[in-house]
Structure 1
């Protein structure tokens, strides 16, 4: 399922150690949705880089790595940089992991400009608010959700974003809360396992 490299195995170990079961499954599903979408659209991407970014993209929401000053995506991206350099990646490649994680909370990035960030944006917006539902057929949804169930992800994630919004009112998470992320999460077909 994941690229068979020591770095992706280590990223999975980190995510498993520090993420709740619901957040871990979200990160794994984000990788799977991104790969599925990329394959369907013929998007060439660096699978190892995308996998590491997907597995670590929400690590800044965890108690161990939450920053009281930085938006969660920047804190998580910085951790991904440290992780990647420690795993032996060149600094430039580690910087790409940081960039992808930060960009997943920004305005849409075209696949031609940054395929990995584009895939993470598509996958996470599908995962959280149901955007791009037409890209993921019912059979694929059922298969992924059977292997990696949501485990109350919507409510847990909303709680994380509301906490971020209270403490970091200028963050992208706070902007999402102001734009009714709660209603969008509730309406996401993945929340009801339909679609």
Structure 2
């Protein structure tokens, strides 16, 4: 008699994985993520150097070419209100800059995603980070908030799950576009904003315009502190993994992006 086939495990970092595990990595999963984490932090160093020497991107585009148009929808209005009600101004503005930078990088990459879902997810992706819960990854809380916003806005379940999955995935080292388009560019936008990863590819006037429109308000100190608290609250979670082996909270604290 053939043995029963075990169901496939959900991808690490996905919404299904998050709800199944609470966001805690197994030893095997942590080991598998080491090369991706090492590669990411190697690119941080290179991109910092590019910013320091004011390397110019080859595309020759300016802010007006890459600045995204905010979607005019009930979903985005509700997401903006949720973000402002439940986050500090520093984190709200980080969400907006994540949207600007992520959308600009996607345009440079000629990548496609739903702009409405990306705008809403950008504003909500760190909503759970300022209020830690022991043993429960902050992206679960952020995703649940996105789910509630989606329901109030009448978004279909597929769109809601796409947002929730992107938010869940965005802190996973080695994330690929094919894993989650929203998650990939949430990560790209957030890392450009907080650590300078790929920031040199963005026109200087776009970065300056984003900082003027959505001031930083000591966000590097705020999110460094929040990330460290999250790492302590969820041992062997992805935040803990990135902080222990990559010093992520220190990178964020000591690397304000060049204006």
- d(CA) in 1 for partners of 2:134, 2:169: 20
Of residues 91-100 and 124-133 in structure 1, the stretch that sits farther from structure 2 once superposed is: 124-133
- d(CA) in 2 for partners of 1:183, 1:68: 22
Q: How many residues align?
A: 190
Matches within 5 A, 1:65-80: 66-80=132-146
Structure 1: stretches of 5+ with no match in the other structure: none
Aligned to 1:85: 151
Aligned to 1:170: 236
The CA RMSD measured in Å over matched residues stands at 1.7
TM-score, length-scaled by structure 2: 0.69
- d(CA) in 1 for partners of 2:183, 2:249: 24
Aligned to 2:176: 110
Aligned to 1:155: 221
Displacement, 1:183? 3.5
Secondary structure in 2 matching 1:61: coil
Structure 2: stretches of 5+ with no match in the other structure: 1-68
2:84 to 3, 6, 16: 16
* Contact kept? 1:108, 1:118, Cα under 8 Å: no
Of residues 67-76 and 106-115 in structure 1, the stretch that sits farther from structure 2 once superposed is: 106-115
Structure with max Cα Rg: 2
Displacement, 1:130? 1.6
* Contact kept? 1:25, 1:150, Cα under 8 Å: yes
Aligned to 1:132: 198
Displacement, 1:136? 1.5
Aligned to 2:124: 56
Would the alpha carbon gap of residues 112 and 71 (structure 1) be closer, same or farther in structure 2, given more than 3 Å must change? closer
Q: Which structure has more RCO (C-alpha within 8 Å, separation ≥ 6)? A: 2
TM-score, length-scaled by structure 1: 0.90
